Structure 1
Amino acid sequence: MIRIKELRNERELSQKDLALYFHVAQSTVSSWEKGVRDPDTDTVASLAAFFDVSTDYLLGKTDIRKPAGHPSIDDDDIKFALFGTTDIDDATLEDIKAYARFKREQYNKR
């Protein structure tokens, strides 16, 4: 995982922060960054989604973060898709994002 450390540092996250988010030990994140261990394919996909990059970029297979045709979704896109307006307070949006992460974790555990 050549780029985990780079992407983590861009977001100003510690290894502990990333470990907590992905429910793994800090030593696991460290081993990914050092190339000692590789995350499973589901975790690779989750890491790519978390950092908003392609799996190929995350794995160091390309220098293109996201291929054309894969638009990023920003907060206003989420607000408009759910409510038909962008006039939603940030606290509500963060609650929605937290719920979506919770549901994704439940889905991934099946």
Structure 2
Amino acid sequence: MLGKRITSLRKKANLTQEQMATKLNITRSALSQYELGTRNPDYDLLIKIADFFDVSIDYLLRGEDHYKDKARELRKHTDVRFAAVDGREFTDSEKEEILADALRRIDGIEKLIEENFKKKNEDKN
């Protein structure tokens, strides 16, 4: 699944394997193996790929369905409320998308905090 997500992101960015490999400073062959799922990137490269495509590592490893599953789980709790907008109630599908989007954004915020923390530590050194 990781390989398919990398391939999908690369294609959405209109990059060839050669172009992406060059940007990540790896061989085209290694990238091909990651995309085929015959080999997995190490942690540092996984971070580099996530940063390159501006996605979370969680997204690369778990995919979009993870957020939708989490949203469905959250909706089971009665304390999760959705206010009507302009007198219109949200459909169940819209509620799941709202929750999935919120979870993606939380991952993004965590990434920003991590980057700021890392930068702050680098500035101290």
Return the TM-score normalized by structure 2. Answer: 0.52
- Tell which has more relative contact order, 1 or 2 (C-alpha 8 A, sep 6+): 2
Based on CA coordinates, which of the two structures has the bigger radius of gyration? Answer: 2
SS in 1 for 2:20: helix
SS in 1 for 2:38: coil
Select the structure that is richer in helix. 2
- Unpaired runs of 5+ residues, structure 1, are 74-106
In 1: Cα distance, 2:11 partner to 2:19 partner: 11
1:84-103 map, 5 Å:
none
1:68 is aligned, of 102, 105, 109, to 105
In 2: Cα distance, 1:19 partner to 1:44 partner: 13
What does the per-residue CA deviation read over 1:57-108, in whole Å, with 9 as the maximum and x for residues that have no partner?
112x1305872232599xxxxxxxxxxxxxxxxxxxxxxxxxxxxxxxxx9x
SS in 1 for 2:14: coil
The percent identity for this pair of structures is 34
- Unpaired runs of 5+ residues, structure 2, are 68-100, 113-121
Aligned equivalent of 2:15: 13
Aligned equivalent of 1:3: 5
Instruction: Establish whether residue 37 from structure 1 lines up as the match of residue 74 from structure 2.
Output: no
The root-mean-square deviation of aligned C-alpha atoms, in Å, is 2.5
- CA shift for structure 1 position 17: 0.5
